[in-house]
Structure 1
Amino acid sequence: MDFQELAQELSRLRKSKNISQPIMATHLHISRATISNFENGSSADVGLKKMMQKERF
Structure 2
Amino acid sequence: MDLDKIGQHICLARKSRKLSQASLGQQLGMSRATISGIENGTVPEIGIRKVLSLCAALGLELVAQEKTRRPTLQQLLKEQQRA
Task: Specify if TM > 0.5.
Answer: yes
**Aligned residue identity for 2:5:** E
Are residues 28 and 2 of structure 1, via their aligned partners in 2, closer, same or farther at CA, if it must alter by over 3 Å? same
Report what 1:45 is aligned to.
45
Identity %: 35
Structure 1 residue ranges without an equivalent (≥5): none
8 Å CA contact 1:34–1:46 kept in 2: the answer is no
- Say which structure, 1 or 2, has more relative contact order (CA 8 Å, 6+ apart): 1
Q: Distance in 2 between matches of 1:52 and 1:11?
A: 14
Q: Secondary structure at the match of 1:30?
A: coil
8 Å CA contact 1:11–1:39 kept in 2: the answer is yes
Alignment of 1:4-43 (within 5 A): 4-43=4-43
TM, length-normalised to structure 1: 0.80
Q: Deviations over 1:10-41 (max 9, x none)?
A: 00000011010010000110100000111111
Structure 2 residue ranges without an equivalent (≥5): 59-83
| Aligned-residue CA RMSD (Å) | 1.9
Report what 2:57 is aligned to.
56
Q: Secondary structure at the match of 1:56?
A: helix
8 Å CA contact 1:7–1:38 kept in 2: the answer is yes
TM, length-normalised to structure 2: 0.58
